[in-house]
Structure 1
Amino acid sequence: MKLPMLLCLILLYYFLSVVDGLKVLVCYPLPVKSLSILGQGVVRHLLEAGHEVTYMTVYPLKSPPTKNFRQIDISSNTALVAGDQMLSIEFILNNKLEKTPSRDIQLFGQEAARMTLNHENVIKLLEDPNEHFDVILTDLLESELYSGFAVVYQCPMVWVYSMGAHWQVLRLIDVATSPAYDPDYLSSNTNPLSFTERVDELWTRIQWQFFKTFFTQPEERRIYEAVFGPVLAKRGRTLPDYEDVIYNASLIFGNEHDAVRNRPCTPQNFKYIGGIHIEEPVKPLQKDLQDLIDNSKHGVIYFSMGSFLQSKTLPKKLIMELLQMFGEFKQTVIWKFEDNSLQDVPKNVHIVNWAPQPSILAHPNVKMFLTHGGLFSSIEAVHFGVPTIGIPVLFDQITNVNKAVLNGYALKVELSHNLAEDLKAAINVMLSDGRYTKKAKELSAIYHDRLTKPGLALAYWVEHVVRTRGALHLRSPALHVPLYQRLYLDLLAIILTTTSALVFLLRRMCQKRNGITYYGQKKSN
């Protein structure tokens, strides 16, 4: 090959490979604080990659970046959870709520989408004809209404899912996985499933699909047409069908990682980015916490029930029992507790209203993590190699804790009025058995043994989607094959029809023959 031709090819490759700073819309509309942590991680990595980010959020950043960044404040969405008794652990405990109905979560996601798309700041954005974006990244939880943004701006759509590879999201880009081995994200069942568990998972999926098909999705279609129809009409364009739009995503990012066992198969356009919210290196601890952990001769036990469910909503009697129980240990206990009114706190118990969790877990003196089992906390435990004791309450926490136990680095304690006694027994087991710490370190090594860190992977795949105009080459052909073809129902129909016809003909032939001859003579009537 001649040198000029080689140079031309190199230059051509360079210009096709490089993506200038993109204009990215990142949408995090749900009034769930932990989800906003994932959104902030997405924003941070896109900014570091040199892109311009518009961040639609319920929790605006108090100290936002000054370059290539703007916020669209939709904080009024918090009204959706204001005064919600489901946020009280005491209410959940007293009413023995064990599982959140999928119907309720569908309605929650739908109402959040309705509030977001009708927010004055969002309407202002949509009605500005000068606005444009190169790609849309938005949170995905039970509602696909935000896919309308990609229609307006005629750009690729990327979902960011706060959990792992579950059938509810995989169905948007591929064939939904089987309930025989892929439990629902709200389920307490773990693989391998028994017969009754398989039936339970199938029934759960049928219920979810029934309500989605006949109630949620028709209403979402109406919202989609009411919001995006007029916007496109002003731009001289016709609104595409809702069902075509929701299945047109280029990519889904899943907030999970390769160290987790029993993950279902995923198509090429599903990418794991678990741990993207964790800053590296972690921020240093403030001096009082740093000194406290450094000087804890027997190590530290860290306890947090997360940001969505808070320790202060535990029953008062149970709080006092937990304090008394923690006081019996020689280890220092750091408890994230959102109230300063606690009395008679033992000397070894340190109360913090807000804990810099990753910075605490990163300290080598932390012996274990007592957690509600939220996915962000679960990922952080694996990231830093800290064994956990899970106290699941609702949502996906039961699934996450069960997975952690299955992976060998966790113990599970049921939420009950006997929590203090049960938790004490679990802490003693974990302090005396080094296998949990060893397994946590092993999983952490697997977690970190990846070709690309999650933040860099996210930036690369977003750029790849834009570079390739929607990454059509990554999409699964199964999404466009009708169910009857995937199950070979047409072939089954042909076989049954042919078999029935042959049986019918054989019976007629036999009847006809029997009508003509009867023991060698013509049969008389």
Structure 2
Amino acid sequence: MNKWTLIILGLVFLSHVCAYKILVAFPYPGRSHSILGEGYVRHLLEAGHEVTYVTAHAYKKPHPNLRQVVVASVIDKFEFAQSLDFKKMLTKEADFKDMFAMYEIMAVIANRSLTHENVQKFLMDPNEKFDLVIAEWLYHHLYAGFAAIFNCPYIWSSSMEPHPVVLDLIDEVGNPAYFPDHMSPVSPPLTFTERVSELWYLIYLYRVLWFVRDMEEKAFRDSFGPAAAKRGITLPTLYDLKYNSSMMLANSHYSLGDPQRLPASYAAIGGYHIEDEIPPLPKDLQKIMDSATDGVILFSMGSMMRSETLPIEIQRELLDVFSKLKQTVIWKFDGSLENVPKNVHMVKWAPQPSILAHPNAKIFVTHGGLLSTTETIHYGVPIIGIPLFADQFLNVKRAIVKVLPWKYREKVKELSFIYHHRETKPGKTLVHWVEHVIETNGAPHLRSPALHVPVYQKLYLDLLALIVLGLLVVKRIFKRLFSSKNENKKKGEYKKNKKN
């Protein structure tokens, strides 16, 4: 093979390698959500694409194709994290079931990120162009505005298992008779009371969406209006824009939840945030894990809930229980405690995947966040759940139902096999659909026809109205007929009586 042949083959190869410009919008200040954003960044960079990442937590692995728009200052004003206090939750001072408050808080947090000077400077640059936007949905729809400014398709990213409100963005809500909301601590089959409760809760959610609509629309105009004006763009309404995504990529998988009927525009990529190569443990933790002959119990309530807010009496009771175990306990604890038992090791940050991947990891005591439950299934480690809010109740209930007490480890290994037994790894699936949307100009062929069908047609209310109208007409006709016959009969009797 001569050099000219090699050059030609090289040019042919390069002509089929396309580096797209992709914007990944994950500016929510919560650390766990940044982990999900970093998962997109990592896979897209590995696929050779140029990535601009809007985030509150800067990605710490520099790359020539990565540019970051960092809004770190919003972390200091993160009121929601401050409300994540065990004492407030135990005394019911913090109510995470109030969805009016949840949607309002999340929209305020998002608007704060979007009006940040770094984001505004980025939006106002007329030279910025993108092939695709990946926008996180987290109880608001504001990040869809990036797609309107840059005039490109966008993909919704959902951090949870499928639930009615997110599916409504790409298709329609699931039937509440067997499709519970992510906030509900129930799973199918549902009792009569549970079915009624789920229907009522769905109605309640749509009331919430209706009441926050104007507030969200105003935040959308405040955030993206100046950039739209500079570019000469007429912004659509957020209500219309939020239904204009190409598809949804979701941190879900049927091994982690219940199988559901899902549209073609929904792709499950649960576990995409987990790296193929397990990061090595710090030397001190590696030594602890290796020397734990009876196994290790990892106790972590996630990245947002601060363990030091536990009442001191509960902290001491937990330590007392741990001291009686033969296993080694690694407790992610943000503060400090005195008189800690020898078998308990307090760490301010626990590299969760690396600990769970170790063969000596036996049990994970967790709050039940979807990242944590995904990692337990990924590495085949049983859990003990202490859910606190949001989808954690349903995640833990699913895990407990599926992992029977007398077959704990066997069952979790079975689920782990189902989780891993896919056509492709979740990261590959992610990249495939991102490239597919770009290369098909927004993938209009994936859009569900349900998006264009009004509610009254979906429920056949027009047919019902026609049937009712028809019955009323028939009733009136029969009434007239009988009335006419009765009149004729009365006239006949009158004439007969008159003759007599």
- Taking structure 2 as the reference length, what is the TM-score of the superposition? 0.93
Aligned to 1:133: 130
Take 1:19 and 1:218, find their aligned partners in 2: how far apart are those partners? 44
* Structure 1 residues 31-430: aligned runs within 5 Å: 31-61=29-59, 63-82=60-79, 85-95=82-92, 99-213=96-210, 215-339=211-335, 341-408=336-403
Matched residue of 2:171: which SS?
coil
CA contact 1:137–1:157 (8 Å) conserved in 2: yes
Take 2:47 and 2:38, find their aligned partners in 1: how far apart are those partners? 14
Take 2:240 and 2:320, find their aligned partners in 1: how far apart are those partners? 58
Aligned to 2:485: 513
| CA shift for structure 1 position 519 | 10
Matched residue of 1:330: which SS?
coil
After superposition, the C-alpha distances for 1:306-352 in whole angstroms (9 at most, x for unaligned) are 1111222111110011001101011111111112x311111111111
CA contact 2:96–2:102 (8 Å) conserved in 1: no
- Over the aligned positions, Cα root-mean-square deviation in angstroms equals 2.1
Indicate how the Cα distance of structure 1 residues 43 and 84 shifts in structure 2: closer, same or farther if over 3 A, else same. closer
Matched residue of 1:77: which SS?
helix
Take 2:80 and 2:459, find their aligned partners in 1: how far apart are those partners? 47
Indicate how the Cα distance of structure 1 residues 407 and 19 shifts in structure 2: closer, same or farther if over 3 A, else same. farther
Structure 2 runs not aligned, ≥5 long? 1-8
After superposition, the C-alpha distances for 1:100-123 in whole angstroms (9 at most, x for unaligned) are 211121012211221122111111
CA contact 1:232–1:238 (8 Å) conserved in 2: yes
* Structure 1 residues 441-452: aligned runs within 5 Å: 441-452=413-424
CA contact 2:281–2:351 (8 Å) conserved in 1: yes
Take 1:519 and 1:402, find their aligned partners in 2: how far apart are those partners? 76
Indicate how the Cα distance of structure 1 residues 291 and 158 shifts in structure 2: closer, same or farther if over 3 A, else same. same
Take 1:265 and 1:367, find their aligned partners in 2: how far apart are those partners? 34
Indicate how the Cα distance of structure 1 residues 116 and 168 shifts in structure 2: closer, same or farther if over 3 A, else same. same
CA contact 2:306–2:334 (8 Å) conserved in 1: yes
Indicate how the Cα distance of structure 1 residues 17 and 400 shifts in structure 2: closer, same or farther if over 3 A, else same. farther
Aligned to 2:462: 490
After superposition, the C-alpha distances for 1:488-522 in whole angstroms (9 at most, x for unaligned) are 11111111111110111101110111111149624
Runs of 4+ deviating beyond 6 Å: 14-17
CA contact 1:336–1:351 (8 Å) conserved in 2: yes
Indicate how the Cα distance of structure 1 residues 17 and 447 shifts in structure 2: closer, same or farther if over 3 A, else same. farther
| CA shift for structure 1 position 149 | 0.9
| CA shift for structure 1 position 233 | 3.0
Take 1:519 and 1:232, find their aligned partners in 2: how far apart are those partners? 79
CA contact 2:81–2:305 (8 Å) conserved in 1: no
Structure 1 runs not aligned, ≥5 long? 1-10, 410-429
| CA shift for structure 1 position 211 | 2.1
Matched residue of 2:240: which SS?
helix
